A and B are shown apart, each in its own frame.
Chain A
């Protein structure tokens, strides 16, 4: 674990989370900026994960709770891509499946805000970023090399 990198990751994730929440509040669906922000965060988290795993598995650093640490590493890398995928997925398919009984006119018009990636995508990204942040901070706490 690299102290400076953890700090950079913390700032990047917090900024991404804040941005996601702001776009939800201002009623904007997730777009290119969200993807870039999540991409930057993900690259940082992956670099950190790679360094940590290298140190533990190859370089022989011993941790008191190695299994827990490695599982958290895995979780830290997985959260953001899943959140982004989920955030940018269209609401339209889900709505179409649920409302088989409604007339075409009714299903096309009503919840207009819900067609396509909704503004809630930003909040989903925020949740993913905060979740990742918690995991990263937990990793930092677990990083106490023995010897």
Chain B
């Protein structure tokens, strides 16, 4: 139990930069998905639904990293791991079977449309969650 007390808040130091980037992605991905779904959902239901899922995951990660306590930490872990799985799956899929993804999503081609930040972000998130878990 002593270890738990020494857990460092994820919203401190470099964690702040991480939260800022997650926040921007949460805003951007959600806004984009919102427009896509509202205006032309029929064109590519799968891609646009995925955009929305990505937006929600970024929102959850932002909330999880901003809050303090085990609950928020679990939420952050869930979101970050989901995000990693998402970007790897969608990235590989778009690369191998391009035809099935007519429209771009945040995770298409490992996030090439966003400077590969979507690919780097989950690794940074996992690193930070692990680091803050042991640092005092």
Binding site for B on A (CB under 8 A): 67-68, 71-72, 75, 78-79, 82-83, 86-87, 91, 94-95, 97-102, 110-111, 113-114, 118, 120-121, 123-124, 127-128, 131, 135
Known: A71-B31, A120-B14. A127 touches B20 (CB 8 A): yes
Q: Mark B1-27, 1 if CB is under 8 A from A, else 0.
A: 010111111011111110111011001
Known: A68-B35, A75-B28, A98-B68. A91 touches B13 (CB 8 A): yes
* Interface status of B102 (Cβ within 8 A of chain A): no
Specify the main secondary structure of chain B where it touches its partner: helix
Chain B minimum-CB-distance residue to A123: B17
- A97-B69, A99-B5 are known contacts; what are 17 more A-B pairs with Cβ within 8 Å? A67-B39, A68-B39, A72-B31, A82-B23, A91-B11, A98-B8, A98-B9, A100-B5, A101-B2, A110-B136, A118-B13, A120-B15, A120-B17, A123-B17, A127-B20, A127-B24, A128-B24
Contact of A87 among B7, B16, B27, B34 (CB under 8 A): B16
A94 proximity list for chain B (CB < 8 A): 9, 11-12, 68
Known: A67-B39, A101-B5. A127 touches B12 (CB 8 A): no
Interface residues on B, range: 20 to 34
* Interface status of B96 (Cβ within 8 A of chain A): no
Contact between chains at A124 and B12 (CB < 8 Å): no
Once A and B bind, how many residue pairs between them come within 8 Å at the CB atom?
85
Contact between chains at B136 and A113 (CB < 8 Å): no
Chain B minimum-CB-distance residue to A89: B16
B24 proximity list for chain A (CB < 8 A): 79, 127-128, 131
